[in-house]
Structure 1
Amino acid sequence: MSVGTSFKFSRVGLAIVAALASSTAFAEEAASESQVTVDSNIERISVTGRSFNDYKVGSSSGAMRGDIDIMDTPQSVTVIPDFVTDEQLATNLSEVLVNDSSVTGGSEKWNRQVFNIRGFELDSGSGYLINGQQQWSHYVQPIETLQQVEVLKGPSSMLYGQSGPGGLINMVTKKPTYENMFELGFDTDENGSTRFQLDAGGSLNESETIRYRTVLVKQDTKYWREYQDGTNQERDRWLGYLNLEFDITDDLLLSLKYDHTQDKTGIDRGGWLDSSGDLIGGRDLIWDQPWAFTDNTISNLGAELTYNITDDWKVKAGYNDQQFNRQRLDSSPSYSEDALTDGYKISPFDRYDDWQHKTGYVDFTGNFYTGDVEHQLLIGANMLDYYYGMLRVKGASEVVQVGQPVPNPGLDYHDDPDGKYESEYKHYGFYVQDLVTLNDQWQLLAGVRYDEQKKDGAGNNSYAVSPKFGVIYSPADNGSIYVNYSKSFTPQGSVNDENDINDKLNLDPEYGEQYEIGTKWELFDGSLLLTGAVFDITVSNVTVTEQLETPIGDKDTITTQSGEQRHKGFEMGAQGQVSESWFMTGSMMYLDAEYVRPETDSLNGKTPVDAPEWSANIWTRYEMTDDLALNFGAIYVGERFANTDNTISKDGYVRFDMGAAYTMDVMGSDVSVRVNVKNLFDKDYLAGGTNTDVTVGQGRHFSLALEAKF
Structure 2
Amino acid sequence: MKYSPLFLAISMTVPFAHADSNSIEVIEVTGSYFNDYKVDEAKGAMRTDASLLETAQSVTVIPRTIVEEQLATTLGEVLTNDASLSAGSKQRNREVFNLRGFELSSSTGYLRDGHQHWSHYQQPIETLEAVEVIKGPSSILYGQSGPGGLVNMVTKKPTARNLFTIGADTDQEGSTRFTLDAGGALNDEESLRYRANLVKQDVTYQREYQNGDQRERDRFLGALVVDYDVSDDLLLRVHYDYTNDKAGLDTGAWLSEDGELIGDRKTIRDMSWAFTDIDVENYGADINYNINDNWRVAIGYNKQTFERQRFESAPRRTDDFVADGEYESRPYDRFDDWQFTTKFIDFIGEFTFAGVEHQLLIGANSLDYYYGQLRFSDTPKIHYTSGQNEPAKPNINYKDDDTLSSSEYDYYGIYLQDLITINDNWQVSFGGRYDKQNKENADNESFSPKFGVLYHPSDQATIYYSYTEGFEPQSSETLINDTDLNNGMKLKAAESKQSEIGIKWQLADERLLLSGAIFDISKTGKLLSEDITHPVLRTSTTQAGEQRHKGFELAAQGAITDKLFIMSSLINIDATFEEDKLYQGNTPIDVPEWSAALWSRYEVTDKLALNAGAFYEGARFANNDNTIEKDGYTRIDIGATYQVDINEHQLNLRFNINNLLDKKYLIGGGVSNVTASDGIGFRVAAQLVF
Q: TM-score, normalised by structure 2?
A: 0.97
Q: 1:501 aligns with which of 485, 507, 513?
A: 485
**Aligned to 1:519, which of 495, 503, 515?**
503
Q: What amino acid is aligned across from residue 151 of structure 1 in structure 2?
A: V
**98, 102, 108: which is aligned to 1:126?**
108
Equivalent residues in 2 for 1:480-559 (5 A)? 480-494=462-476, 495=479, 497-503=481-487, 507-548=491-532, 551=534, 553-559=535-541
State how far apart, in whole Å, the 2-side matches of 1:642 and 1:174 are.
38
Partner residue of 1:3? none
Tell me the secondary structure at the aligned position of residue 683 of structure 1.
Answer: coil
Deviation sequence 1:145-172 (CA, Å, 0-9, x none): 0000000000000110100000000000
Please identify, of 158-167 and 505-514, the stretch whose mean Cα deviation from structure 2 is larger.
505-514
- 8 Å Cα contact 1:187-1:706 kept in structure 2: yes
CA drift at 1:477: 1.4
Match in the other structure for 2:622: 642
Instruction: Say if 2:2 is the partner of 1:17.
Output: no
* Residue 216 of structure 2 is aligned to residue 234 of structure 1: yes
* 1:411 partnered with 2:396: yes
Q: 1:238 to 1:345 in 2, by over 3 A?
A: same
CA, structure 1 residues 29+18, in 2 after alignment: closer, same or farther (shift >3 Å)? farther
Q: Which residue of 2 aligns with 1:434?
A: 418
| CA distance in structure 2 between the aligned counterparts of 1:586 and 1:325, rounded to whole angstroms | 38
Q: 1:435 to 1:23 in 2, by over 3 A?
A: closer
Checking the alignment, whether the CA contact within 8 Å between 1:574 and 1:587 is kept in structure 2 is yes
1:615 aligns with 2:605: no
- Choose from 302, 319, 331 the match for 2:313: 331
- Structure 1 pair 498–110 and aligned structure 2 pair: CA distance change class (3 A): farther
Q: Tell me which amino acid in the other structure corresponds to 1:526.
A: E
Deviations 1:410-466, CA, capped at 9 Å, x for gaps: 21001126x000100001100000000000000000100000111023xx1011100
Contact 1:55 1:83 in 2 (8 A): yes
In structure 2, the residue matched to 1:582 is 564
Name the CA shift for 1:269/1:496 in 2 (closer, same or farther; >3 Å). farther
Contact 1:24 1:578 in 2 (8 A): no
User: SS at 1:303's partner residue?
Assistant: strand
AA of the residue aligned to 1:351: R
Contact kept? 2:139, 2:470, Cα under 8 Å: yes
Conserved 8 A contact 1:27-1:579: no
**2:352 maps to 1:369:** yes
Which amino acid in structure 2 is aligned with residue 321 of structure 1? K
How far apart in 2 are the matches of 1:572 and 1:566? Answer: 20
5 Å-filtered alignment, 1:178-577, equals: 178-336=160-318, 337-394=320-377, 395-404=379-388, 405-416=390-401, 419-457=403-441, 460-494=442-476, 495=479, 497-503=481-487, 507-548=491-532, 551=534, 553-577=535-559
Number of matched residues? 685
**C-alpha distance in structure 2 between counterparts of 1:606 and 1:690, whole Å:** 15
**CA distances 1:30-58 after superposition (whole Å, capped 9, x unpaired):** 9945x3x53324xx45xxxxxx2110111
SS across alignment from 1:414: helix
Q: Which amino acid aligns with 1:559?
A: T
| Residue matched to 1:48 | none
**Alignment counterpart, residue 638 of structure 2, candidates 658, 666, 670:** 658
Is the Cα–Cα contact under 8 Å of residues 18 and 24 in structure 2 kept in the other structure? Answer: no
My pick for the range that moved more, 62-71 or 318-327, is 62-71
Partners of 2:311 and 2:492 in 1: how far apart? Answer: 31
Looking at structure 1, the residues matched to 46 and 242 of structure 2 have their Cα atoms a distance apart, in angstroms, of 29
Task: Give secondary structure in 1 for the equivalent of 2:586.
Answer: coil
- Superposition RMSD on alpha carbons, in Å? 1.7
Matched residue SS, 1:699:
coil
SS of match in other structure, 2:447: strand
Q: Which residue is equivalent to 1:40? A: 30
The amino acid that maps onto 2:628 is I
Residues 1:676 and 2:666 aligned together = no
Q: Relative to structure 1, is the Cα distance of residues 123 and 191 closer, same or farther in structure 2, using a 3 angstrom cutoff?
A: same
AA matched with 2:615: I
**In 1, Cα distance between equivalents of 2:305 and 2:582:** 41
Please say if residues 28 and 578 of structure 1, whose CA atoms lie closer than 8 Å, have aligned partners that are also in contact: no
Matches within 5 A, 1:20-99: 20-23=12-15, 25=17, 32=24, 35=26, 37-41=27-31, 44-45=32-33, 52-99=34-81
* 8 Å Cα contact 1:546/1:557 also seen in 2: yes
1:104 and 2:86 aligned: yes
Separation in 1, partners of 2:322, 2:273: 20
CA shift at 1:341, angstroms? 4.6
Task: Report the CA distance between 1:67 and its aligned residue.
Answer: 2.8
Shift in Å, 1:28: 8.6
Distance 1:662 1:26, change over 3 A: farther
3-state SS of paired residue (2:65) = helix
Q: Distance in 2 between matches of 1:516 and 1:566?
A: 14
- Offset at residue 499 of structure 1 (A): 2.2
Query: Does the Cα contact within 8 Å between 1:272 and 1:691 map onto a contact in 2?
Result: yes
Matched residues in 1 for 2:101 and 2:459: separation?
34
The amino acid of 1:701's aligned partner reads: G
8 Å CA contact retained: 1:514, 1:535: yes
The answer as to whether partners of 1:450 and 1:465 remain within 8 angstroms in 2 is yes
> Helix, strand or coil for the counterpart of 1:86?
helix
- Is the 1:339–1:402 contact (alpha carbons within 8 Å) kept by the matching residues of 2? no
Matched letter for residue 527 of structure 2: T
**Alpha-carbon distance between aligned partners in 2 of 1:511 and 1:335, rounded to the nearest angstrom:** 35
Residues 340 and 401, structure 1, Cα contact 8 Å, conserved in 2: no
Task: Kindly state the Cα deviation for residue 399 of structure 1 after the two structures are TM-superposed.
Answer: 1.4
Alpha carbons of 1:440 and 1:387: their partners in 2 closer, same or farther (altered >3 Å)? same
Offset at residue 21 of structure 1 (A): 2.3
Distance in structure 1 (CA, Å) of the matches to 2:257 and 2:73: 33
Partner of 1:705: 685
Q: Which residue of 2 aligns with 1:631?
A: 611
Matched residue SS, 2:146:
coil
The answer as to 2:668 corresponding to 1:688 is: yes
TM-score, scaled relative to structure 1:
0.94
Q: CA 1:248–1:504 in structure 2 vs 1: closer, same or farther (change >3 Å)?
A: farther
> Cα distance, 1:311 vs. partner?
2.1
- The DSSP-based 3-state class of the residue aligned with 1:18 is helix
Instruction: Quote the offset at 1:365 in angstroms.
Output: 0.5
Q: Does 21-30 or 245-254 show the bigger shift?
A: 21-30
Distance 1:27 1:490, change over 3 A: same
| Alpha-carbon contact 1:380-1:431 (below 8 Å) kept | yes
- Distance in 2 of aligned mates of 1:689 and 1:82: 28
Q: Equivalent residue of 1:14, what SS?
A: helix
What are the Cα deviations for residues 166-205 of structure 1, in whole angstroms up to 9, with x where unaligned? 0000000000001101001111000000000000000000
Trace 1:148-159 onto structure 2 (pairs within 5 A): 148-159=130-141
Report the Cα offset of residue 354 of structure 1.
0.3
Q: What is the percentage of aligned positions where both structures have the same residue?
A: 51
Describe the shift of the 1:40–1:341 C-alpha distance in structure 2 as closer, same or farther (beyond 3 A).
Answer: closer
